[in-house]
Structures are given as C-alpha cells and as structure tokens.
Structure 1
Amino acid sequence: MPDNERMSAPAGTGRTALSADCANCFGLCCVALTLTASADFAISKDAGTPCPNLADDFRCGIHDRLRPEGFSGCTVYDCFGAGQKVSQETYSGRDWRSSPGTAQQMFQVFPVMRQLHELLRYLTEALTLPAAAVMYGVLRDALEATERLTRLPAEELAGLDVSAHRDRTAALFLRAGELERAALPRRARRSRRGADLMGARLKGADLRGAELRGAYLIAADLRGADLHRAELIGADLRDADLSDADLTGALFLTQAQLNAAKGNSATRLPESLTRPSHWTPSAPGPS
C-alpha cells in the first residue's frame, strides 16, 4: 500500500519490521479481507477471493490510480508488516497460488499476524516515551512475548485467540501513554475518549495532550489545531482536515490514520510518519 508506516523497532534490536513490504508479500490484504462497495471501495468481494486488480505477480494493477478508481480504502490500510512476515517466514515463501492447499489457512493467519504486529508497533513506540521509563522492563517483556507469538507455526497462529493477549498488552502501552501525557499541565490533558466529534469545528483548538482515544473525528475541521502529545490511538480521522495542524509527538498515531485524513505541507508530523502523497501543498479553501 502507498504511504506505508515508517515506525520501526529500536535500532540494533533486530526485531520484526513493522512497515509493509508489498514486494515480499503475496497480496494477502488483496485476498484475505472482505471488501464492501462504498465510498472506500468500488466493489464488493468476499474474504478469500482475490481482488480483480491483483496481478499474477501479486502486485496491484491500479496501484498508482487507487483513489481515482474508487479504492481509497486500499490506500489507508496498513498491515504493519504482517503481510511479508506471513508470506516469507510463516510460510517460507510458499504462495497460495502455487500451493493452493495453504490458501485457507494462510488467509486465517494473516489477520491474526496483523493484530500481533499492530501490538508490536504500539509497544515499540511506548518504549520511546521518556516518561514511561519506569515501565520499560514490563514493556520489553510484552514486546518479546508478542514477538514469540508471531513465530508460532501456521496451525497454531490460525487458532490463536489473540484477544486476551491484546487486552493485557494494550493496558501496558496505554498506561505508558498516560504517563507521557501526565508531564503536561492538567488543563491540557482533557479527556475526549470515544467522543463523537464528527464534523466538529475545531479549527485552531488547543488539544495538547488531549485524550482522543477512539474519538470519532470524521470530517472534523482541525486546521491549525495543536495536537502536540495528544493520544490518538483508535481515533477515526477519515476526511478530518489537519492542514496547518501540529501533530508532533502525537501518541500512537499511525500512518493509516494520516492517510485517511486531509492535510497539507504545513502540517507538522511525528518524525516516524510520512506525509501522504494526496495531501495538498498548501491549506485548501478559504481560511
């Protein structure tokens, strides 16, 4: 997918890559997932059915035209590196076309691996937060435990109940985020967890350190807003306008969230993330 996540494990650890490498994946997101015709996808297809745009070499035939062709949802999806892990490590390079007996299981393994890689991505970020230093030991233990799960044989991964592990692990990195936000003045740490802010007029808002976990910010006007150190895990930023906004140090923000939003060249981003190619060079529309 375009504009992939740049977050990686700490240098020198040799840990799992957390950026999608489509060249080493068997197009798993184009096959294993269900698509429903909508503003995000031009077609519907069942899980296990290859997208008609998937080429014989597992590349997308309309990769450079996804948005104009009606597949904007593809441009915001991020497997966090699970695709190449399943393709090249779990199945040792055996693809579902040449080894059709692996297909059904491989398509079951992929979403499990994706969840594990997402946890690795958040744990990796938590280990960079200075205020969470007191938790580094338990965070590293959780990272290693999650890594071990990613190396399970395919049959064990296919049957893995990842929910309990996810709950335990999420409690750790979310606590790390709370410690990081606690370093800001109390007035700047307002909670809008799960808030319905769809279409909200938040232009120029001071949202430093705000808890926006799971908030619905669809089509919200966040132009020029200050989101420094705001926690954005699970926040829905589809079509939110981040032009001129400050997202430096935003906690648990992913590339997929940025890809789903609007922005411009003046939007300030965390160093680990990349400015989406569809963003405008300057603020759109009247001020």
Structure 2
Amino acid sequence: PVLDRLEARGMSKLRSQWWFATVLPANWKVAMEAFMEGYHVMKTHPQLQQAAPMLYNAMYGMDTGGIGIPINPNMSVRDNIKAQIKHLGLLSEGMSGMVHEKEVAIARQLADVELPEDPQQAVMMWYGMLNHQITEQLRASGEDVPDLNAVAVSDPINAVEFIFPNYFLLPLFSSMSAYRIRPLGPESCTFELWSLTHVAEGAEHETVMEPTILPYNSQDFPPIPRQDYANIPIQQKGLHATGFDFMRLSKDIEGLISNYNRIIDGHLKGVPSDKLASATHLLGGNFDGKILELGF
C-alpha cells in the first residue's frame, strides 16, 4: 500500500520548506493528467531531456534523442556520473523537494569516487553510494532519515505516488515534492505545491501554515512548475477547439489517465466501494503504465 511505502521513508516526519498556490485556468483533471505520463518532459522540460537524453530515450523510444538505455556506454564512466549529477541538479533547481539541494551537494562530493569501468555497473553502484552518503550525512546532522538503500529493497517507491483523487508526491531520496489540485469550476482549479524535507531535531524551523499565492504565470515559481503552468492552460484551450472531438491515449504508456478517469466515473455511477478500492489500488505504480481492466 502506498501509505506503507511513504511511511517507510519517514513521510510523517517531513516538514514543509515552502508552500505555493495559484489559480490555474484549466479543469482540475486536465491539470492532474499532466502528471500521469512522462511524455511531456521532452518538450515541456527540455533541460531535463538534454541533461540525460539516454534516460528518457530508454523510457520513450529512439526518437527522443538518446541511445536507448539509461546509461550511455559511449561516454566514459566519469562523464556518465557528471550527467547524472547535472540531471539531479536540474531537478533540485526545478522542483526543490523532489531532489533537495542538500542531496545534490552530497552527490557532487561523489563526482570522482572509484567505480567499475563498465558504465552501467558504475552508475548503479554510484547511486547506491549516494543513497548511503545521504543517509549517513543527514543522520549525522540530526535528521531522522531512513536507510535509503534498505527501503529501496523493502519498500520500493514509485516515481510518482498518487493519493486518489487529487494529491500526489514525487519522492526520490529523503525529501519529496507534493502537489494538490482542487476544482474551482470547469475552467479553473487551485494548484498547490510543497517542498517537503527532513529537519534536524532541535533545529529552528518555522512551520509554513499557509501558502504563498502567486499568479499562475509568476516567475517566482520554480522552473519546472513554471513550465507546466505555461503548458496546461494551452491544453485547456485546445479542448474547446472546433476540430477537437476526442483524444486517443497510448494504451501502453498513458493508461493511468484512462484508469484514473474510469475510477472517477465509477464513483459517480455508484460502483460498489470494494470494487472501487481494488481499482484504486491498481493506480499505484501505474505511472507510464498500461490501460488496465478495472473490474467494472
């Protein structure tokens, strides 16, 4: 269950570093669906694709500019590690909580560690070393973080963890980003973002009790949500285009969008709660997944 996976990573001990909110001119489901597939990264967040093209190409095919596997065998081990660190840095700059700046600082300490000559083995070993160092260094600073290598085995986390129907988390190491999207009407929604991280026991930390509310096109948002906020309202407008009748989803990659909407329809139709619960459980790990048979 998703709550077990999250609590294994100390979810209840995370504290808000910041909390932003905006009114986005889009239907709440359009906003939610923007985060149910990774296709959009290559165009909406090109800086991530450019930093690690092999990663995205491994997931989405040869036409995205990579080489088909997450580690580039044509690059040296050192250059592969540099690409990983650059990618983590961009995620931190763009999302904050998903990869916290303190975790990136630790990653940079490991830029020149001894690693196997095989790039794939090297990158896997490097991430294990990074997990270990994040755990050890943050614990040494007083933060009650889990053993990241241990929980990666006992409670593997998904790239996006959805809490049906309107809340999701993006975890990677010890910190997380959180999103909540609530309807205001058919053409607008409230969109909230949190950067969540562990805080050392006894350290001064002012709890954020209310969001900083910004216009959706504000330059004060971190880069990645700023890019999303530029894109989602255009999608909403496109739904009203004269020539738009329906949208065809990729059955193998965009299945979560179909599954999610059919569960919402199930609630509206009065499908028995046990069937809805079973179907909702299928959403865990369905990011970039297939259209599933939900049982109703």
TM-score normalised by structure 1 residue count: 0.31
Q: Greater share of helix residues, 1 or 2?
A: 2
Q: Greater share of strand residues, 1 or 2?
A: 2
Q: Comparing both chains, which one has the higher relative contact order based on Cα–Cα distances under 8 Å and sequence gaps of 6 or more?
A: 2
TM-score normalised by structure 2 residue count: 0.30
